[in-house]
Amino acid sequence: MTTVSPSLRVSELAYAYPDGTQALFGVDLTIGRGERVALLGPNGAGKTTLVMHLNGILTAGHGSVEVAGLPVRKDTLGEIRRRVGLVFQDPDDQLFMPTVREDVAFGPANLGVRGPELELRVKEALELVGLPDVIDRPPHHLSFGQRRRVAVATVLAMRPEILVLDEPSSNLDPASRRELAEVLRSLDVTVLMVTHDLPYALELCERSLILSGGVIAADGPTRDILGDPGLLAAHRLELPYGFVVADRPY
Amino acid sequence: MGAGHRHQLYRPGNTVVHRLPPQCKLPAVAAFAVVVVATPREVFWAFGVYALLLAAVASVARVPASFMLRRMVIEVPFVVFAVALPVIGLGERVEVLGLSLSAQGLWAAWNILAKATLGVMASILLAATTEPRMMLLGAQRLRLPSLLVQIAMFMLRYMDVILDEMRRMRVARESRGFAARDVRHLPVLAKSAGALFIRSYERGERVHLAMLSRGYNGSMPIMNDATASARSWATAALLPAAALATAVLSWSVS
């Protein structure tokens, strides 16, 4: 293990909803700086609940979450939310300002960034997702794929330690899906990708975790996990029809 | 899907009126309306002057009369109300074209019609030369209650999304053979409306989460707080100032 604090460390995280439903039963995971990791799991496995803990929207019933060494607590929420960039599944939920420029500026402006520095952050983030030209457009005039990429830009503008994406490939047509993959691959940031899309996980993430029944059921190279039909079947995960994981990459 | 159509009230252009900062235009229109309302109804000529002032602004902003007239349909309910007043009004009656009308009602109707029409015309001009988004920016820069500005902002942003959702629900109903023809179909429509409300409410919760995730703490950050130049303020003040001069004159002669 390295001496630098990992981007994300979750230990013994357990959580029950107020109605008593237990969603997480002791989750342990560590994600090193610069890693791209896929979090796989069937519906109802607790993926969203786990994600909500990463930036303190939900607070741990038991256990702890640390982002680059900083524990998630009430008094650290501001900094935690800067460090963890959450990209929601529906870009219409994420893009709520009248123009792309204001939306991308929203996060850094909340951090107190103003003036030319703010303008720079907005341009830089849109540049990173390959959409510098849409800056003055209203979000609802963009295509779905563009909206998803702008949603990524809105959190990149906060210069996060870790980017957490909820089902990034959902509802994208093949070209938008590839464009997003290219963007994600080009970023110099730790990525945690929550997904059902196993080929997308294989394409982008060297490592995968399976969250099932509220615990981490598997943790290893994506290639090994997807190559184990028994493991996948045990957790209601399936590769698309006709899809075979090649023995050697490309 | 969700494709944008321009907001109907706005008429793009690049005139002096279009370019004025929104925080100058908003109070100018409000001040104009106050002056109009404060003018005694007996001074007919003053209202003529106001109408001329607005016509001048419209010609500078290149907003054609036909555009104004079409938008003024919004005033119809007031007109109906105003027309009823002389008929149902009490007091001294006068004969007009063989009809016995209330003199007081006639004055009241004229008062409402003239003042409302001028107010509506000024608002239409404001909306025609100011993008809805800029209007909100102006309200924000004027430090209007931020909660109200935020609500209006979200309405503007999510109107298309919700309309789209509504359309999808209608398509889903019709695909299964439903067509609203008479009152018996109302319960179905009511349930759709309820479902739409719940969906929108849930979206509101998700948007709030997304805002929290990006450091929202109850107030919108003011990002482009450009101050307007004294010259912009002076230009915007021309309309209410000219109106005020007219009003002062009308007070002194009435």
Express each pLDDT in A188-233 by its tens digit: 999 999 998 999 999 999 999 999 999 999 999 999 999 999 999 9
Give mean pLDDT, residues B46-58: 95
Pair (B202, B155) in one structural domain: yes
Task: Kindly indicate the confidence band of residue B225, based on its pLDDT and cuts at 50, 70 and 90.
Answer: low
* Confidence check: pLDDT of B23 > 80: yes
Q: Can you give the pLDDT at residue B8?
A: 73
Q: Which residues of A touch B133 (CB under 8 A)?
A: 98-99, 138
Q: Exposed, middle or buried, A230 (CB in 10 Å: 0-12/13-18/19+)? A: exposed
Give mean pLDDT, residues B27-34: 96
Q: Can you give the pLDDT at residue B160?
A: 84
Phi first, then psi, for residue A88 (nearest 5°) are: -80, 165
> Which domain does B156 fall in, by range?
144-213
Nearest CA in chain A to B211: A94
Give mean pLDDT, residues B100-118: 89
Q: Can you give the pLDDT at residue A249?
A: 54
Pair (B85, B119) in one structural domain: yes
* CATH 1.10.3720.10, applies to A8-88+162-234: no
Q: Can you give the pLDDT at residue B31?
A: 96
* Confidence check: pLDDT of B128 > 60: yes
Pair (B39, B151) in one structural domain: no
Closest approach of chain B CAs to the CA of A144, in angstroms? 9
pLDDT tens string A17-67: 989 889 999 999 999 999 999 999 988 888 989 999 999 999 888 999 999
Number of domains observed in the structure of chain B: 2
pLDDT tens string A77-129: 989 999 999 999 999 999 999 889 999 999 999 988 988 999 999 999 999 99
Among B2, B157, B216, the residue with its CB nearest the CB of A110 is B216
Pair (B92, B129) in one structural domain: yes
Name the pairing type of β-strands A22-31 and A8-16.
antiparallel
DSSP tag of A41: -
Is B213 in the A-facing interface, judged by CB distances under 8 Å? Answer: yes
* Confidence check: pLDDT of B5 > 60: no
Task: Kindly indicate the confidence band of residue B81, based on its pLDDT and cuts at 50, 70 and 90.
Answer: confident
Residue B2 maps to a domain: no
DSSP tag of A74: G
Pair (B27, B120) in one structural domain: yes
Is A98 within 8 Å of B156 when comparing Cβ atoms? yes
Question: From chain A, which residues contact B within 8 Å (Cβ)?
Answer: 55, 57, 78, 81-82, 84, 86, 88, 90, 92-94, 96-99, 102, 105-107, 109-111, 114, 118, 138-141, 154-155, 158
Residue B9 maps to a domain: no
User: Which range in A19-28, A125-134, B127-136, B174-183 is most confidently predicted, on average pLDDT?
Assistant: A125-134
Residue B220 maps to a domain: no
Q: Can you give the pLDDT at residue A83?
A: 95
Residue B195 maps to a domain: yes
Residue B121 maps to a domain: yes
Is A155 within 8 Å of B214 when comparing Cβ atoms? yes
Q: Can you give the pLDDT at residue B4?
A: 41
Residue B222 maps to a domain: no
Closest approach of chain A CAs to the CA of B202, in angstroms? 10
* Confidence check: pLDDT of B3 > 50: no
Q: Can you give the pLDDT at residue B83?
A: 84
Domain ranges of chain A: 8-88+162-234
* Confidence check: pLDDT of B254 > 90: no
Per-residue three-class SS string for chain B: CCCCCCCCCCCCCCCHHHHCCHHHHHHHHHHHHHHHHCCCCCCHHHHHHHHHHHHHHHHHCCCCHHHHHHHHHHHHHHHHHHHHHHHHCCCCEEEECCEEEEHHHHHHHHHHHHHHHHHHHHHHHHHHHCCHHHHHHHHHHCCCCHHHHHHHHHHHHHHHHHHHHHHHHHHHHHHCCCCCCCHHHHHHHHHHHHHHHHHHHHHHHHHHHHHHHCCCCCCCCCCCCCCCCHHHHHHHHHHHHHHHHHHHHHHHHC
Q: Can you give the pLDDT at residue B6?
A: 52
Q: What percent of chain B has pLDDT over 70?
A: 96
Is B203 in the A-facing interface, judged by CB distances under 8 Å? Answer: yes
Pair (B130, B237) in one structural domain: yes
Q: Can you give the pLDDT at residue B7?
A: 58
Pair (B111, B55) in one structural domain: yes
Among A55, A105, A114, the residue with its CB nearest the CB of B213 is A55
Q: Mean pLDDT, chain B, as a whole number?
A: 88
Residue B40 maps to a domain: yes
Q: Can you give the pLDDT at residue A168?
A: 95
- The ipTM value here is 0.84
Residue B10 maps to a domain: no
* Confidence check: pLDDT of A240 > 60: yes
Q: Can you give the pLDDT at residue A178?
A: 95
Q: Can you give the pLDDT at residue B13?
A: 87
